[in-house]
Chain A
């Protein structure tokens, strides 16, 4: 009789444990998703940080340039097929690469006549392979007609 009671008690605790583990399983799935998302966001933050430094470098180079084209080619940029922009591709480790285009830096220049010279407005943008934008920077540079600025 006593043994029968003990078995019933054990079965009850087995059921309680099963319910508890089911709840735990649901919670752990949610937590795991959260961890994965946090990890992905951290990865994004690193890429954004890297892309900002690269965009800043390009912006500085444009600001210090006397002409856009040689500066872009010095930085390793190539003109796009439609000749409307300059671009450079990077692999996953942000090394310049012709094959891989895990990341891409693009410079869209617009030149406007302004009185005694030309005003260059360049939009520098960094994107992922999937087209997700990491950062965008706009830089302006005035090129006077004669002599230096």
Chain B
């Protein structure tokens, strides 16, 4: 009788422990799933933001400088860049947009000076940025974020039509 009671007590105790362990494991799993979902959302948002922001930024810059002969694609020291020119006080200044050292950079400088890519202002962190001139007057912008996702935007500035 005493032995039976003891066995019953052990079974109850073990059941309680088992349920407690199940509870702890389930709670941990749920927290982990929540963390993963949150992490995915934040990372995906961040990647989307980088792609959309970089393309929107360049498109806006091009539209702001949409004057004949002022939008061009040039290459310096093996770096291809979008060059937006403007006249300031009778002097020509170039805004160069290029990819350098993991960032989309912007550099404003007087025409004729040698470009020092280190001096550029880092705007958005991206994995790659390519700019191409199309035969029909368009400009193809290709941006890749750090997750390897690539986005492409075609621009047809009025000045180049």
Number of B positions contacting A (CB below 8 A): 38
Given contacts A24-B23, A50-B151, A60-B138, contact A42 B5 (CB under 8 A): no
Q: Is the CB of B138 within 8 A of A64?
A: yes
Residue B79 at the chain A interface, CB threshold 8 Å: no
Q: Is the CB of A18 within 8 A of B156?
A: no
Residues of chain B whose beta carbon lies under 8 Å from any beta carbon of chain A: 5-6, 8-9, 12-13, 15-16, 19-20, 22-23, 26-27, 30, 33-34, 37, 40-41, 44-45, 48, 51-52, 55, 59, 136-138, 151-156, 160-161
Residues of chain A whose beta carbon lies under 8 Å from any beta carbon of chain B: 3-4, 6-7, 10-11, 13-14, 17-18, 20-21, 24-25, 28, 31-32, 35, 38-39, 42, 45-46, 49-50, 52-53, 56-57, 60-61, 63-65, 74, 148-149
Residues of B within 8 A of A3 (CB): 5-6, 9
Q: Which of B5, B23, B155 contacts A4 (CB 8 A)?
A: B5
Q: Which of B20, B26, B151 contacts A17 (CB 8 A)?
A: B20
Q: Is the CB of A45 within 8 A of B156?
A: no
Residues of B within 8 A of A52 (CB): 52
How far, in angstroms, from A25 to B25 measured CA to CA in the complex?
12
Nearest CB of chain A from residue B84's CB, rounded to whole Å: 17
Q: Is the CB of B33 within 8 A of A45?
A: no
Q: How many contacting A-B pairs (Cβ < 8 A)?
A: 91
Which single residue of chain B is at the shortest CB-CB distance from A42? Answer: B41
How far, in angstroms, from A21 to B41 measured CA to CA in the complex?
29
Residues of A within 8 A of B34 (CB): 31, 35
Q: Is the CB of A38 within 8 A of B30?
A: no
Which single residue of chain B is at the shortest CB-CB distance from A20? Answer: B23
Residues of A within 8 A of B22 (CB): 21
Q: Is the CB of B16 within 8 A of A24?
A: no
Residues of A within 8 A of B26 (CB): 21, 24-25, 28
Residues of B within 8 A of A61 (CB): 138, 154, 156
Q: Is the CB of B12 within 8 A of A14?
A: yes
Q: Which of A4, A28, A38, A45 contacts B48 (CB 8 A)?
A: A45
How far, in angstroms, from A4 to B15 measured CA to CA in the complex?
17
Given contacts A38-B37, A39-B37, A60-B155, 20 further A-B contacts (CB under 8 A): A3-B9, A7-B12, A10-B9, A11-B12, A13-B16, A14-B15, A17-B23, A18-B19, A24-B23, A24-B27, A28-B26, A28-B30, A32-B33, A39-B40, A39-B41, A49-B51, A53-B153, A56-B59, A60-B154, A64-B137
